[in-house]
């Protein structure tokens, strides 16, 4: 009996200490590693955050080539992780745990970081946490700000566009999603049609400032139906047709501006619907709205959603711009949050190219896409 008492006390003391985790991210074309330590106020201190981009490797192909990305991860992962450890001034044996992205993403890329993380955890006999990349985004604002559950999340990135009710770590309810293309993909494809080199999504915002947003009228698919589900395929097709009729450089700026305005109108209306759904059976006086993912760094979109939040009595929260795109700091933090919930994984955990946060969300019949 005395043995179990001391085991309990040891476990309790470890859970009370301020944790320090190494995070590793290789889900797509960024090789990243970060070390985060908890602070007394429950937020995190980023001791290091190293990201190696592969933009140059993929530029000539106009998009990410999985085999090239995986090879680059293999070549860089050792250096990136060692740099993150060195920059943090934390010795490996002082880490409380290792976290690595296990999905969703490109499986040949995921495997590199996941196996590297498991190897470190195994060699040091440290706890290992396999992190859902989407959960990393979902929890990323909590690194810098104390946020209570539940909150409404809009996740907008190159591969995902979703409205989620975040009830706790590991507890998500999806309210809506794109039924075809992700918003980040729509930005990148529009940029490509305008002759902007990959990755061109962020450049659209700069071009839009030079154009007339009312010059072209573009469609807003399923704007008045489908709840807070979204669709961008029809808009992308309209941009393709319009781009073939452009006669000068100025019209490219007009199309970029018109595209961004249309996106903002879609997000404004669909987010309003998501907010109404979130508020059902909620009695909280302070409703939190978190916007995360790579597209959340778009300042025009931020301004649009901040305006809507004020009208709907929501408090909008964005991660810092450097934590919007893929990074390992959010993976390390998700590792800490999951460890606190005793959500620890074994070293046999396999990568998952598809891994929804809400596993109960229904599939859209006939397409394989989730609603």
Predicted local distance difference test score (pLDDT) of residue 363: 59
Q: What is the DSSP string of 268-305?
A: HHHHHHHHHHHHTT---SSEEEEEESGGGG-HHHHHHH
Predicted local distance difference test score (pLDDT) of residue 100: 98
Predicted local distance difference test score (pLDDT) of residue 370: 43
Res. 64 pLDDT band, cuts 50 70 90: confident
CA dihedral 18, 24, 30, 35 (to 10 degrees): 30
**Res 10 pLDDT > 80:** no
Where do the structural domains in the chain lie, given as residue ranges? 2-142+324-340, 150-318
Which of 28, 24, 27, 23 is closest to 57 using CA atoms?
A: 28
φ, ψ dihedrals at 370, nearest 5°: -90, 140
Q: Match 């993929």 to its residue by tokens.
A: 58
CATH superfamily, region 2-142+324-340: ATPase, nucleotide binding domain (3.30.420.40)
* Tens-place pLDDT, residues 332-349: 999 999 999 999 999 999
* Tens-place pLDDT, residues 114-155: 999 999 999 999 999 999 999 999 999 999 999 999 999 999
Q: What is the mean pLDDT of the chain?
A: 91
Predicted local distance difference test score (pLDDT) of residue 3: 36
**Res 206 pLDDT > 60:** yes
Higher pLDDT, 229 or 201: 229
* Tens-place pLDDT, residues 312-330: 999 999 999 989 989 999 9
- d(CA 113, CA 93) in angstroms, rounded, equals 19
- d(CA 289, CA 316) in angstroms, rounded, equals 5
User: pTM of the predicted model, to two decimals?
Assistant: 0.91
Q: Does 150-318 match 2-142+324-340 at the fold level?
A: yes
Residues 6+ apart with CB under 8 A from 49: 32, 34, 84, 322, 327, 328, 329
Predicted local distance difference test score (pLDDT) of residue 145: 94
Residues 6+ apart with CB under 8 A from 224: none
CATH class of domain segment(s) 150-318: alpha beta
Which of 278, 351, 358, 343 is closest to 315 using CA atoms?
A: 278
């Amino acid at each position: 009996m005395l043995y179990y008492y001391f085991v309990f006390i040891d476990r309790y003391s470890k859970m009370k200490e301020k944790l320090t985790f190494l995070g590793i991210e290789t889900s797509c074309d960024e090789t990243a590693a970060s070390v985060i330590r908890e602070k007394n106020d429950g937020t995190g201190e980023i001791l290091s955050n190293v990201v190696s981009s592969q933009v140059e490797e993929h530029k000539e192909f106009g998009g990410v080539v999985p085999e090239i990305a995986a090879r680059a991860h293999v070549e860089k992962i050792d250096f990136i992780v060692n740099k993150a450890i060195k920059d943090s001034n934390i010795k490996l044996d002082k880490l409380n745990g290792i976290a690595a992205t296990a999905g969703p993403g490109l499986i040949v890329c995921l495997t590199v970081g996941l196996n590297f993380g498991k190897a470190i955890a195994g060699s040091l006999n440290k706890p290992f946490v396999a992190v859902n990349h989407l959960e990393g985004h979902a929890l990323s604002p909590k690194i810098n700000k104390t946020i209570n559950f539940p909150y409404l999340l809009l996740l907008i990135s190159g591969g995902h566009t979703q409205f989620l009710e975040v009830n706790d770590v590991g507890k998500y309810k999806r309210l809506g999603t794109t039924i075809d293309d992700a918003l980040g993909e729509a930005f990148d494809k529009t940029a490509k049609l305008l002759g902007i080199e990959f990755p061109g999504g962020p450049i659209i915002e700069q071009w839009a400032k030079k154009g007339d947003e009312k010059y072209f009228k573009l469609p807003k698919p399923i704007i008045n139906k489908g709840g807070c589900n979204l669709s961008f395929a029809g808009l992308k097709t309209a941009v393709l047709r319009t781009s073939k009729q452009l006669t000068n450089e100025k019209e490219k700026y007009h199309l970029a501006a018109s595209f961004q305005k249309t996106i903002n109108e879609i997000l404004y209306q669909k987010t309003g619907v998501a907010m109404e759904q979130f508020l059902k059976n909620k009695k909280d006086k302070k409703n939190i709205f978190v916007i995360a993912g790579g597209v959340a760094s778009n300042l025009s979109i931020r301004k649009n959603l901040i305006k809507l939040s004020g009208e709907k009595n929501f408090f909008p929260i964005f991660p810092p711009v450097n934590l919007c795109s893929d990074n390992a700091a959010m993976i390390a933090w998700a590792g800490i949050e999951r460890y606190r919930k005793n959500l620890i994984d074994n070293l046999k955990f396999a990568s998952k190219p598809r891994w929804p946060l809400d596993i109960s969300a229904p599939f859209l019949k006939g397409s394989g896409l989730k609603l």
